[in-house]
Structure 1
Amino acid sequence: MQKLTYLVTRHPKVKRVDTVRAYTFGVLYFVEVDIELPEDLSLKEAHAIGESLQINIEKLVEVERAFVHLDFECDHKPEHSVLTRLPNSDP
């Protein structure tokens, strides 16, 4: 997935990549990316960056679907908890 790293970091307005996750979906992947953009960027420009990133990630043959999350800072607590074990399973 070196191509994925290149796609995520190549836009000059991307300040930081917070998270990159790839979930298997059969033989293909769902990719989730969280990026930080400048706080003063217009919604129109931020949307265009996120959408172009999504389109380019989805051009990778091994990717079924990409989700790009945009933020103006990455210091906050994660929005979603990461499941470490299945509910109702033995520890």
Structure 2
Amino acid sequence: QGYGNASWRYLQGRSVRVTSDDEWLWFDVTEVVQQWLGGSEPLGTFKLSVHCPCEQGGGEDMRIAIEGKVAWRGGDTHTHTHIFRGGGF
């Protein structure tokens, strides 16, 4: 969650084993999104990013697809995140 131009609050992280095969990784992020929506701070921006400190120079593309129900602050949400590592969706 962002506060100003350069301040972000870390909500949750996951570690995964990287393989040489293209693969889908699936995470249920409902709890984190509900925490973000239910906060008392101004809503701001939700940032979902992929970070791999083991690769120099950018590494392979990782694509993120988010699916779920749209909800306003205080509403129920159910959100899943799919991260694909490799050449295409």
TM-score (norm 1): 0.31
Higher helix share: 1
TM-score (norm 2): 0.31
Q: Report which structure shows greater RCO (CA 8 Å, sep ≥6).
A: 2
